[in-house]
Amino acid sequence: MATYNLKVNGKTRRVEVDPATPVLWVLRDHLDLPGTKYGCGIAQCGACKVHLDGVAVPSCQLPVSAVGNQAITTIEGLSATGNHPVQKAWLEHDVAQCGYCQAGQIMSAASLLKSNPKPTDADIDAAMSGNICRCGTYLRIKEAIKSAAKEGTSSSTRK
Amino acid sequence: MTSNKSTFNRRSFLKASLLSGGGMMLSVSWLSSAKAADKLQELNVPEQWAQLNGYIQITADNKVKLICPNPEFGQNVMTSLPMIVAEELDVDWKAVAVDMGPHDNVKLGPQFTGGSNSVRMYWKPLREAGAAARQMLREAAAQTWSVPVEEVTTKAGVLSHASGKSAKYGEMASKAATLPVPKGMKLKSPKDFSIVRKSKKNVEGQKIVTGKPLFGLDYRAEGMLIAMIQHPPAFGMKLKSFDASQTLKMPGIKEVFSLKLYEDGFEQGGFDTRTFNELLVVVGKTTWEVMNARKKLKVEWEPMGDTKDTMQGRGGKREVTVPGEMESTTAQLEKMAEWAKKPAQQLRKDGDPETAFKNAAQIIERTYNAPFLAHNCMEPMNFFAHVTAEKALVAGPLQAPGWAEPTLSKLLNLPADKIEIQMTRMGGGFGRRAYSQYMYEAALISKHAKAPIKLIYTREDDMTYGIYRPMYTATYRAALDANKNLIGFHVKGGGIPEHAIHANRFPAGAVENYLAEGWEIPSNITIGAFRAPRSNFNAAAEQSFLDEVAEAMGKDPIEFRLDLLKRAKEAPVGKNNEYDADRYAGVLTLVRDKSAWNKPGNEKYHRGVAAYFCHNSYAAHVVDMVTRDGVPYVERVFSAMDCGIVINPDAATNMVQGAVVDGIGNAFYGALTHKNGAAEQSNFHNYRMIRHNEAPKKIEVHFVQNDLDPTGLGEPPFPPVFGAVANALYKTTGKRQYNQPFKTDPGKRI
């Protein structure tokens, strides 16, 4: 067991956990942030994506000991009121079916648009192919990303 | 059982007329009874919900809350079912709030999500509920204002009278709830719909995009512990002994124990599938701790040998022998090929197929095989349970609470009215969550651990723990005469452990001489419904075969099907044909027209077509394939659907698009294979799922416009995708596809 002061969604959160504990389970079991989802545990499905200093990474393979000072942003912290351009675009296109994978999809999309505000179809495919959706909402996700790109993303993380 | 909420109360209001209506009931325990009226008087506070019936709640300040009766797993019933109520109730959709209902079959009906049945089953009862509530509100206004009820009109939640009097629904709600419930309400004509047929956004959209805790895996309770089960490494094995000493030394671990799911001779309901009966359980504080500690278990497993299950379902009580063998896919395929040669059970026969085949100028015979498929819901199986000696609370993702409750009641030895089942949003279902054994496991673990627990399956548990789409095979034969007319059709299908044949479906009814046969091989590998059960194989095999027959006859594949359907309509062969030939032809002509089939301008695509009828709806797809870097991809899809009235068009389109993507993925990659009883795939690194870059660029969805009562959409678009992909692949590669998944270029596709 070790103590960590994590920067999560703009706040410092203190946790006492085994250093090997993946950030996914720290968020879900210790910090009451269940928006980040467990899907595979081996970084294959993307349901657990969070931003680490603004870049989307699978949190199921990220030990808490490796986080250090980097800022973690989860779906709960992506925007104050759910009004991030990507979230708005998701609603506009009514993307979700079951909705389970969508937090991870949104985090990947927000990260993409931050580094590449005008992605091509190929850019979107490349950035999003780590996120599985069994309901098959891929077409709407792509359309939503394009809408969000049009609107412009100021920041993918809450300051 | 002393008391069972699942059994429709025969004394409840309106039951008689509606129970007779095909087993469906209005499912509303209307609060017009004396007891309900008393309760309302007791409340006597305008802020309280005045509950008009099981689906509708209206507050005095005119907030309308509609209760969704059916569990939500992405088919969007939480939006579409309340839309139906709102239409007849005549309220402003923007002012409506929606909640998932509790499990209560008396107030809320069957509450079963599956079989593409939600909208179909609830269409009439929900309309009647809305219309009756509106009528009661009008009656309340008429009495209050001393005017004839016929003169009271409604518009978007407001009652009015020509004299200038008006009131919001909320003002009349308490009074309305005490009035007798009207019967035989006149329902709106489809031309007057103002909510139904207009696209409405997912009512949980905002919660989904902001990561609110909606799912079973997100459920938390004070003092909750985490539980995981260590199941045997292979089907056909069981627990012999275990040493938990290392596990118990790990941080956060509370307890390790084994328990039986069903005691010997337990009468299982029809959906009480169990894969492994003896559960080895680790209970601890957090998910990660339990996951790690479970790895430290030292377990000895042994062959389980043949076992007997006692089933009590449709068809009465029976004993089923489960073979103990540890099976391998290669051996299973050999066994299926052997069994395919043996005599089988005749399922349907028209005319004289033997003579037709004897006299045929040409016989086309092809065999199709398909593997087990894992459901791979993105949210792995899980359930919360808090069981005490007096009562039980269980909460989580499941499709059929009403089927699970009687078994849970027996397992816990608690009357059903002491069991509360809460239905969380499901991270996918696809049929998997109609089998509630993970809920039973959670409840038994909680009872044993004397604590609130959440049972979690890891992805590996989820994928290797069974309840798969069965393994199927079918041999199709077509007899052509010297003029290339189809004079005989024969299908003989088998499977492990069940075959897929729907004997009364197309082309039955369209061919003079027809024979359908089936056979089944028992297995200990457990199976269950998988998005469009059986149809998901048939539509692949039969629609590929028909494509090949059309080619042999020198006919266009769409015209060939339309000719057969014309025959089925004008002079149907045999009895009990399940489909409506006109509607079937309707989706084919619609997809032909919308895709500009055989028209210039599509030369860059290799085109494949397929159509299918299942779960009361009709679907047809044209798949346009291209090759990139030597790999075939589905670039474009045109889909035509006939599901009657479309409640929520944009959501319906989403559902069809999703089914197309899911179908392409499963056609190319879906396979769960075994070696000596052990699943060979355990997670998404070796069970390939379709990803963003492999999805079509465009899926154009068209609905046949008619005023027929709505039928479902979750399953029907899925099966013919396989056939259309197979037929497009033939055009692309020159090779027919007989085995799923379709291996087109093993070097490049996984």
Contact between chains at B428 and A98 (C-beta distance less than 8 A): yes
Question: How many other CB atoms are found less than 10 A from the CB of residue B1?
Answer: 12
Interface contact flag, A142 B692, Cβ < 8 Å? yes
Q: Using the predicted structure, report yes or no on whether residue B708 has a pLDDT greater than 60.
A: yes
Residues 266-325 of B with CB under 8 A from A: 286-289, 291
Do B143 and B175 touch, CB atoms closer than 8 A?
A: yes
Mean pLDDT of A65-92: 97
The predicted pLDDT at position B745 comes to 57
* Pair of tokens at residue B77: 């019933």
- pLDDT at residue B244, rounded to an integer: 98
CA distance A33 to chain B (A): 8
Taking only residues 98 to 137 of chain A, the set having a beta carbon closer than 8 angstroms to any beta carbon of chain B reads 98-103, 106, 121, 124-126, 128-137
Cross-chain residue pair A41–B458, CB shorter than 8 Å? yes
**Contact criterion met (CB < 8 Å) for A91 and B205:** yes
Out of A149-153, B240-244, B317-321, give the one with best mean pLDDT.
Answer: B240-244
For residue A119, the chain B residues in CB contact (below 8 A) are none
Q: CB–CB of B309/B319 below 8 Å?
A: yes
Residue B356: CB partners within 8 Å, gap ≥ 6?
B479, B487, B488, B512, B513
Instruction: Look up the ipTM and state it.
Output: 0.96
- Cβ B99 vs Cβ B68: under 8 Å: yes
- Does B655 contact chain A (CB < 8 Å)? yes
- The count of CB pairs under 8 A between chains A and B is 186
- Asked if A25 and B286 come within 8 Å (Cβ–Cβ), the reply is yes
How sure is the predictor about B51, in pLDDT bands with cuts at 50, 70 and 90?
low
Mutation for testing the A interface, residue in B75, B286, B288 having most A CBs under 10 Å: B288
Residues of chain A with CATH 1.10.150.120: 85-151
B15-189 has which fold? Aldehyde Oxidoreductase; domain 4 (3.30.365)
Domain ranges within chain B, ordered by starting residue: 15-189, 217-309+381-456, 471-733
Q: CA A102, A105, A108: angle at the middle one, nearest 5? A: 150
pLDDT of residue B18: 24
Greater model confidence, B20 or B374:
B374
- Lowest average pLDDT, out of A24-33, B385-394, B739-748, goes to B739-748
Q: What is the pLDDT of residue B50?
A: 56
Alpha-carbon distance A70 to B343, whole Å?
A: 68
Mean pLDDT of B128-157: 94
User: From 3.30.365.10, 3.40.50.1980, 1.10.3210.10, 3.40.50.10190, which CATH number describes the B471-733 domain?
Assistant: 3.30.365.10
**Which tens digits make up the pLDDT trace of B642-700?**
999 999 999 999 999 999 999 999 999 999 999 999 999 999 999 999 999 999 999 99
Output the pTM of the full model: 0.94
**pLDDT tier at B44 (50, 70, 90 boundaries)?**
very low
pLDDT band at B21; cut points 50, 70, 90: very low
Poorest-confidence range of B93-107, B569-583, B647-661?
A: B93-107
Residue numbers in B near A37 (CB within 8 A): 215, 217, 378-379, 427
Q: How far is B203 from chain A (nearest CA, A)?
A: 10
pLDDT at residue B639 is higher than 80: yes
What is the arithmetic mean of pLDDT over B33-43?
39
Residues of chain A with CATH 3.10.20.30: 2-77
What superfamily would CATH give domain A2-77?
Answer: Beta-grasp domain (3.10.20.30)
Residue B1, pLDDT > 70, answer no
Residue B629 contacts A, CB cutoff 8 Å: no
Give the neighbor-by-neighbor strand order of the sheet with B267-268: B267-268, B307-313, B316-322
Q: Do A87 and B692 count as a contact with CB atoms less than 8 A apart?
A: no
What residues contact A68, with CB distance under 8 A and at least 6 apart? none
- B397 within 8 A of B407, measured Cβ to Cβ: no
Decide if pLDDT at B20 tops 60.
no
At residue B33 the predicted structure's pLDDT band, cuts being 50, 70 and 90, is very low
- Centre a 10 Å sphere on the Cβ of residue B575 and count the other Cβ atoms it contains: 10
Instruction: Considering only the beta carbons, identify the residue of B210, B214, B654 that sits closest to A82.
Output: B210
In terms of DSSP H, where are the helices of B576-636? 581-594
Supply B426's token pair: 């499901």
Tell me what pLDDT residue B314 has.
65
Q: Which CATH superfamily is domain A85-151 in?
A: [2Fe-2S]-binding domain (1.10.150.120)
Q: Which residues contact A4 (CB under 8 A, 6 or more apart)?
A: A14, A15, A16, A17, A64, A65, A67
Most B-contacting residue of A44, A59, A100 (CB-CB within 10 A), to test interface: A100
CB-based contact, A94 to chain B, within 8 Å: yes
Question: Which residue of A lies nearest to B225 if distances are taken between CA atoms?
Answer: A29
Res B11: pLDDT: 27
Those residues whose C-beta lies under 8 Å from the C-beta of residue A110, and which sit 6 or more positions away, are: A51, A56, A78, A84, A86, A153, A156
Residue A54, chain B, CB below 8 Å: the answer is no
CB contact under 8 A, B683 and A41: yes
- Nearest-CA distance A69 → chain B (Å): 23
CB contact under 8 A, B654 and A137: yes
A29/B427 CB distance under 8 A: no
CATH of B217-309+381-456, one of 3.50.50.60, 3.30.365.10, 2.40.30.60, 3.40.50.10490: 3.30.365.10
The partner residues of B97 in beta bridges, in order of sequence, read B65
Query: Taking CB atoms and an 8 Å limit, are B211 and A75 in contact across chains?
Result: yes
Give the percent of chain B with pLDDT over 90.
79
Structure confidence at residue B35 (pLDDT): 40
B649/A contact by beta carbon, under 8 A: no
The pLDDT assigned to B53 comes to 64
pLDDT in tens, B180-231: 888 778 999 999 999 999 999 999 999 999 999 999 999 999 999 999 999 9
Q: Tell me if chain A has a CB within 8 Å of the CB of B654.
A: yes
Residue B48, pLDDT score: 41
Taking CB atoms and an 8 Å limit, are B377 and A140 in contact across chains? no
B734 Cβ contact partners less than 8 Å away, ≥ 6 residues apart: none
For chain B, what is the mean pLDDT? 90
> Is the predicted pLDDT of residue B24 greater than 60, yes or no?
no
Instruction: Report d(CA B345, CA B325) in Å as an integer.
Output: 25
Residues 660-719 of B with CB under 8 A from A: 660-662, 665, 683-685, 689-693, 695-699
Most A CBs within 10 Å, among B210, B225, B628, to test the A interface:
B210
Per-residue pLDDT tens digits for B455-514: 999 999 999 999 999 999 999 999 999 999 999 999 999 999 999 999 999 999 999 999
- Domains B217-309+381-456 and B471-733 fall in the same CATH topology: yes
Tell me if B718 sits within 8 A of B75, measured CB to CB.
no
3-state secondary structure B100-123: ECCCCHHHHCCCCCCCCCHHHHHH
Q: Which of A21, A100, A138 is closest, CB to CB, to B661?
A: A138
pLDDT of residue B694: 94
d(CA B379, CA A133): 11
β-strands B56-58, B64-68: how paired? antiparallel
Query: Which residues in chain A are contacts of B289 at CB distance < 8 A?
Result: 18
The nearest alpha carbon in chain A to B685 belongs to A44
Closest CA to B96 of B141, B57, B45, B132: B57
Averaged pLDDT for residues A150-155: 65
Question: Residue A99 has which token pair?
Answer: 């909705």
